[in-house]
Structure 1
Amino acid sequence: MKKGRQIMYWIIGIFIFLILGILIWFSIPYSPMKAEFAQLHNQQNSKMQIQNQVFKQEDIADLPMPVQRYFEVCGFIGQPKMSNMKISHNDVDFILSSSMPKLKIKCTQFNSAEKPERVALIDTHLYGIPFEGIDAYQAGVGSMKGVIAKGVTLFNQTGAAMNKSSLVNCLAESLFMPNFVLQDFVSWESIDENHVKGTIAYYGLYASGIFTFDKNGFLETFTTDDRLYVDTNGNVKQVKWSAICGDYREVNGIKQPKSLQAVWHLVEGDLVYFDGHDTFIQYNVAE
């Protein structure tokens, strides 16, 4: 009987030790995903070339009029050309899938201006457990990985479809970092006074989409058919996708959108899976 109680006490002690260890592991700021994100960002940052020029009217003279007007109304003319962009999404409603609850996330993202490269870190909790995700596109390879409890991989999507979708993301975000717009791998086709077709070609891939501007010249939406949607059963299909931005505010002399949404236009209805309410953009960020 005494031996049985000792075994029970050992089991309880080990259980308590494991629970305390898990709680401490969850509470410390370090995580393998954050370390991986820092490494990817440092790799991207090491190739950054600091620009010593400002945007001039002649830089945009050959662009379609809606894009020229966007440069002007947002205040980029006369501002320094940027080498990279940091986007902080501080208040985002996010949906991993229709079968999972809506999450409140923070997302930190870095884009390169010289070539299509980007890396983003998602940080949140799923059922009270830390959940982190990395959305990366470097050297033509796109990937999206999600990890729960700092060590259990929920998904790790790679492949040709992810490569092209990641290239589309770079195009969708191009006007937030206008020096990217001036690169040779981006081309433009005027449609009318409020619509422009943009095309990006790099790493042997190309993708395109339609940019829509409002009557004041601000970017409203980017829509493309060049992204593939993966449903909860793993089925891949081509679905129209849009990025929607608005609520422009002035930061350091430049007008930038505060709200940003990403939408899948599914047959059963639109799925707004990324709904950001406090987006903040910075340029030439080293850390």
Structure 2
Amino acid sequence: MVLLLVILAGTAIGVTVFFKIPYSKTAAEFQRTADHYLTTPATLNDVFTSEDWKLLPYPVRKYFETSGWAGARKMSSMKAVFKGVNFILSPKKPAIQIDYTQYNFSEHPIRIALIKTSMYGIPFQGLDTYAEGKGSMKGVLAKMFTLFNQQGGEMDQACLVTFLSEALLLPSAAIQSCITWEPIDDTHAGATISCYGITARGIFSFSSNGECLSFTTDDRTAIGMDGSKQRVGWSALMKDYQRIDGIRQPTHLQAVWHYDSGDLVYFDSRNFRMEYSYNMTIK
């Protein structure tokens, strides 16, 4: 009996230490993927001018003109770090607090994101990846056990439209040839992104002073942890703009599923920062 207690105590201590060690295979995969694309040479080597958006719909031009991007260097990527996000994994589940780090790359649609949180003291990590036309969403519990790993055509399109929704936060992506803009009216513009044989579309809404307020699409499928799929309207909301380093940027971001039973704000963050990288090596 004493020996059994010693073994159990040792196992519990070992598990606790293992959970507290910063290293995890999921986080290492995320950083390895980010480093690969961060060291890939980009072809951008100039600054934004009005020529970059002169052919875009009126509200998109106004967004660029009033945000302060004219004269700023064109970036090759964006890193966004979110702390203490209110996050809901699925309907009827309580919100949890997560940390969320993502990279978006402008020249080719690439987006990777790492979720870090814990459930009942057990670490949970999620890895969202969209690269070279393939999207995936993986969840790992206790650094070892894969709970889900969603892939396939619907995930490819969902990841692509998510990249599109964030294009104005990474303006060098918004002017790439893979995105086509369509005029609607003075405060709305449609956008379609096409690459690797996949197309996704949505509508951006703007305020009268040029702030981007939201992006809404029907081209994203809600995929549950159990693999269930449901075609649901989806929106990204941008609020509470401030001038940061001379650029007007939102300080409150939300993501919303528009279920028939009502809207679900499943991602809600007021604590984040965005950094841009400028890899100007010419191929």
Q: What's 1:239 paired with?
A: 232
5+ long unaligned stretches in structure 1: 1-7
> Relative to structure 1, is the Cα distance of residues 238 and 98 closer, same or farther in structure 2, using a 3 angstrom cutoff?
closer
Match of 2:116 among 114, 119, 123: 123
- Look up the match of 2:130: 137
Task: Give the structure-1-normalised TM-score.
Answer: 0.94
Cα distance change on mapping 1:76 and 1:167 into 2, 3 Å:
same
Corresponding position of 2:172: 179
Contact residue 256 and residue 281 of structure 1 kept, 8 A: no
C-alpha contact (below 8 Å) 1:50/1:82 kept by paired residues: no
Partner residue in 2 for 1:112: 105
State the distance in 2 between where 1:171 and 1:156 align. 23
Q: Which has the higher contact order (CA 8 A, sep 6+)?
A: 2
CA contact (8 A) 2:150 2:227 kept: no
Measured after TM superposition, the shift of residue 280 of structure 1 is 1.6
The CA RMSD measured in Å over matched residues stands at 1.4
Aligned pair 1:222/2:222, yes or no?
no
Q: Is the 8 A contact 1:86 1:285 kept in 2?
A: no
Please list, as runs of the form range in 1=range in 2, the aligned pairs for 1:83-122 lying within 5 A after superposition: 83-122=76-115
Q: Equivalents in 2 of 1:255, 1:50: separation in Å?
A: 26
Q: Is the deviation greater in 192-201 or in 9-18?
A: 9-18
CA distance in 2 between partners of 1:230 and 1:26 (Å): 28
Name the stretch that deviates more: 200-209 or 41-50. 41-50
Which has the greater radius of gyration? 1
- Distance in 2, matches of 1:269 and 1:48, equals 45
Give the superposition deviation at 1:114.
Answer: 0.2
2: CA distance between counterparts of 1:32 and 1:285? 28
> CA-to-partner distance for each residue in 1:189-218, whole Å, 9 max, x for gaps?
000000000000001010100000011100
Matched, 1:211 2:204: yes
SS at match of 1:180: helix
Deviations 1:33-76 (A, max 9, x none): 11111111122223241632110111111111111111111110
Relative distance call for 1:260 and 1:151 in structure 2 (3 A) is: same
Residue 160 of structure 1 is matched in structure 2 by 153
The structural deviation recorded for 1:285 is: 6.8
- The reply on whether 1:24 has 2:17 as its aligned counterpart is yes
Look up the equivalent residue of 1:187 and give its one-letter code.
Answer: T
Distance in 1 separating the partners of 2:219 and 2:102: 22
Q: 8 Å contact 1:210–1:223 — kept in the other structure?
A: yes
Are 2:61 and 1:73 aligned? no
Could you say what secondary structure the match of 1:207 adopts? strand
Question: Residue 35 of structure 1 aligns with which residue?
Answer: 28
Do the aligned residues in 1 keep the contact of 2:30 with 2:114 (CA within 8 Å)? yes
Classify the secondary structure of the residue corresponding to 2:174. Answer: coil
Determine if contact 1:56/1:78 at 8 Å carries over to the other structure.
yes
Answer yes or no: is the 8 Å Cα contact 1:51–1:81 preserved in 2: yes
CA distance in 1, matches of 2:263, 2:140: 27
CA contact (8 A) 1:48 1:83 kept: no
Q: For the residues of structure 1 that align with 2:119 and 2:208, how far apart are their CA atoms?
A: 41
Residue in structure 1 matching 2:55, options 53, 62, 72: 62
The answer for the alignment partner of 1:251 in structure 2 is 244
Counterparts of 1:51 and 1:37 in 2: how far apart (Å)? 25
Number of equivalent positions? 279
- How big is the shift at 1:128? 1.5
Matched residue SS, 2:11: helix
**What is the CA–CA distance in structure 1 between the aligned matches of 2:121 and 2:248, rounded to whole Å?**
37
Whichever residue aligns with residue 107 of structure 1, its letter is: Y
Change in CA separation of 1:143 and 1:43 when aligned onto 2, cut-off 3 Å: same
CA distance in 1, matches of 2:243, 2:211: 13
In 1, distance between residues paired with 2:125 and 2:91? Answer: 18
Q: Does 1:52 find its partner at 2:45?
A: yes
2:189 is matched with which residue? 196
Q: Which amino acid aligns with 1:77?
A: A
Instruction: With the length of structure 2 as denominator, give the TM-score of the two structures.
Output: 0.95
